[in-house]
Structure 1
Amino acid sequence: MMSQFSDKDVILSVHEYNFKSNPSEESFNIAFGIDKHFLFGCGVAISSILLNNKTINFEFHVFTDYFSEEDKARFSALAKQYHSCIKVYLINCEKLKSLPSTKNWSYATYFRFVIADYFYHKIDKLLYLDADIACKGDIQELVDYQFAEHEVAAVVSERDVEWWTNRSVTLTTPALVAGYFNAGFLLININEWHKNDISSKAIEMLRVPEWVEKITHLDQDVLNVLLAGKVRFINGKYNTRFSLNYELKDVVENPVNDETVFIHYIGPTKPWHEWASYPVSKSFLIAKDASPWHNFDLLKPTNSNQFRYSAKHKFNQKLYMQGILNYLHYYKLKIMK
């Protein structure tokens, strides 16, 4: 078995910010794979985890293709503020750019393959998280989690049996009837991942036109096919998904409750957008205020899609003048295209 991603090929540089009070203590490792658009969200996600888990010794690993001087200062300040350790890995993305991507998912979605390969022989267990999360609870259960024999990962299911059946047919993988997971949360058994050669097989599948025609959720679909029957489904509180665009519906069903540990803000509107002003964004905003990003403005719309969503949300929030202005920006950008 050959790793697709050797350290020399892929990792260009590592920036380490280690302010642990007890460096020799065993760490719980959490990793993120992001592009430049998610650095703000990732910093606040880390802050939210540290804020709600003050007794756990963490090591955070951020894999990205962009890291400015301002980013370096903030991530260093975050590690110092919480006496933690954050390592940022700059990645050479050339191998990944040829893989399928969409408007909502860039090649950064494949960083999780680089991450899982990188940690083989370094650690045994790793929590991979998407950066559009906010932690609002205790994760000690994950720190203590013991994998069963041959278990590659602990995961949280996506949607319901009807959806699993649909994916099992589309992806010609009958075992998915027993469960299909969301890949934004993966508690990975690194040794079993390597033993099953998951990263290499995933990259190979993503280069086969017949598979590319079938998949709609890129690496998530591929991972579900490769890991069918090799994962354990755990409590949904660890990946409670909610799209802020659901707020535009007449009836909003919000699954976030007191038991929720990780809120996963799926969809194009994120809690760091200034039009995402809803109670469900509160966990993100609390963590932002308790981080080096506390004085960082929430992001304004920059493209036609964002102006359109911003306008809809402003009307929903009864901020009609702002909504009208955003619609005008939207139409102006559409005409200029």
Structure 2
Amino acid sequence: MSPTPALNYGAIACADANMLPAACCALLSIHNNLKAVNAKLLLLALGAEETQLQEIAAFAKRHSLTIDVLPDPTPRTDEPAFGRWSRATLARLYMELIVPGDIDRLLYIDADAVAVASLDELFQADLDGKALGAVDDYVMAFPEKIDRRQQRIGLKKGGRYFNAGVLLFDWKKSVEDGLIRKARETFEREPERFPSHDQDVLNIAYDGNWHRLDARYNAQTGILPFIEQPAIVHFTGRKKPWQAVMPWTHRRMKAFYCWALEGTTWASFCKASSLTDNMASFAGHYSTVLTTLPKIAKVRAHFH
């Protein structure tokens, strides 16, 4: 029996100029949490100018990384059909046009996510013959909401719906079967139909062809309290840990961003938090907890 050929792994983040520091930190966190796997780090830097390319290179050099910056394949968003959507929002739908063809497994990570534990098992996960591995979206804890979403976008009632912030692609299968292209074409036909834009159309394209990963690999803000050993923390919601008033549940992650960006031209991206800021974060968190206890119980039941 001939040996199984070694796979080529990649990890990709996409960001516009405002989120480049966060995207580079996401890629750094992946690199720092791999030992048995060697993954090529890819960055789709949307509309990046020469100064920004230099900043990316300086960040990579500081952390002894190689980050390959890919050309921007996204359409102009000032056209009528796409005016509502940012290029960063659309980027995942155009990755097949620029991701190197030798990649077998590709991990996509949102710029507002960070790896906090080993990812070797994730990259080598058995996808059970499926083209994608993903984690249930937070909305799956609320049957009435997911039913409405599935009805609106044309998915069958009772099926699963994944969050697109962390996606493990069998990349060659996805490309050969035209799944990314299908998602893109679905969006381009009716861009205003999908409230969660690219996440909705990716769920349509991969319907029945994705493997449910353990929630620890995409610990979204709302489910994080119920994940015992998160591997990737995803900062869903408006507040991020690099902001002055940050989500209280993510307060420990600020140190990572400050460390990663220290000594770079992006150092000010991570804002210092005053005592007043921390008090506001604390108060906001517990106010939300006290007013959403029934909702929290449903999330716990689904994800714990």
TM-score range, shorter chain: 0.7 to 0.9
Match 2:56 to one of 75, 93, 96: 75
| Equivalent in the alignment of 2:147 | 165
- Per-residue CA deviation, residues 170-200 of structure 1 (Å, 9 max, x unaligned), is 22221x6221001111111122212332233
| Equivalent in the alignment of 1:184 | 165
**Equivalent residue letter for 2:268:** D
- Per-residue CA deviation, residues 126-172 of structure 1 (Å, 9 max, x unaligned), is 111111011110101122224433x2211111132514333222222
What is the distance in 2 between the residues matched to 1:85 and 1:225? 34
Q: Does structure 1 residue 316 correspond to structure 2 residue 286? A: no
**Equivalent residue letter for 1:271:** P
**Equivalent residue letter for 2:21:** F
What is the distance in 2 between the residues matched to 1:49 and 1:108? 20
1:266 partner SS = coil
Match 2:268 to one of 290, 294, 297: 297
What is the distance in 2 between the residues matched to 1:288 and 1:84? 18
The Cα shift of 1:33 comes to 1.6
The Cα shift of 1:313 comes to 6.1
Q: After TM superposition, list the pairs within 5 Å mapping 1:93-108 onto structure 2.
A: 93-95=74-76, 98=79, 99-100=81-82, 102=84, 106-108=86-88
What is the distance in 2 between the residues matched to 1:74 and 1:256? 37
Say if 1:74 and 1:293, in contact at 8 Å, map to a contact too. Answer: no
**Equivalent residue letter for 1:107:** R
Q: Does structure 1 residue 154 correspond to structure 2 residue 133? A: yes
| Equivalent in the alignment of 1:271 | 241
Q: After TM superposition, list the pairs within 5 Å mapping 1:114-153 onto structure 2.
A: 114-119=94-99, 121-149=101-129, 151-153=130-132
Q: Does structure 1 residue 41 correspond to structure 2 residue 22? A: yes
Match 1:28 to one of 9, 13, 17: 9
**Equivalent residue letter for 2:246:** A
**Equivalent residue letter for 2:189:** V
2:203 partner SS = helix
**Equivalent residue letter for 1:167:** R
What is the distance in 1 between the residues matched to 2:263 and 2:231? 22
Name the stretch that deviates more: 37-46 or 227-236. 37-46
Say if 1:136 and 1:283, in contact at 8 Å, map to a contact too. Answer: no
Match 2:229 to one of 259, 264, 268: 259
What is the distance in 2 between the residues matched to 1:137 and 1:228? 29
| Equivalent in the alignment of 2:214 | 235
Tell me, which stretches of 5 or more residues in structure 1 are unaligned?
1-24, 244-252, 301-311, 320-337
Say if 1:157 and 1:180, in contact at 8 Å, map to a contact too. Answer: yes
Q: How many residue pairs get matched?
A: 270
The Cα shift of 1:287 comes to 4.5
Tell me, which stretches of 5 or more residues in structure 2 are unaligned?
1-5, 284-304
Say if 1:134 and 1:284, in contact at 8 Å, map to a contact too. Answer: no
Say if 2:73 and 2:98, in contact at 8 Å, map to a contact too. Answer: no
Say if 1:31 and 1:115, in contact at 8 Å, map to a contact too. Answer: no
| Equivalent in the alignment of 1:219 | 198
What is the distance in 2 between the residues matched to 1:152 and 1:95? 29
**Equivalent residue letter for 1:197:** G
Distance verdict in 2 for CA 1:293–1:224, change over 3 Å: farther
Name the stretch that deviates more: 257-266 or 53-62. 53-62
TM score, norm. by length of structure 1:
0.69
| Equivalent in the alignment of 2:286 | none
1:268 partner SS = coil
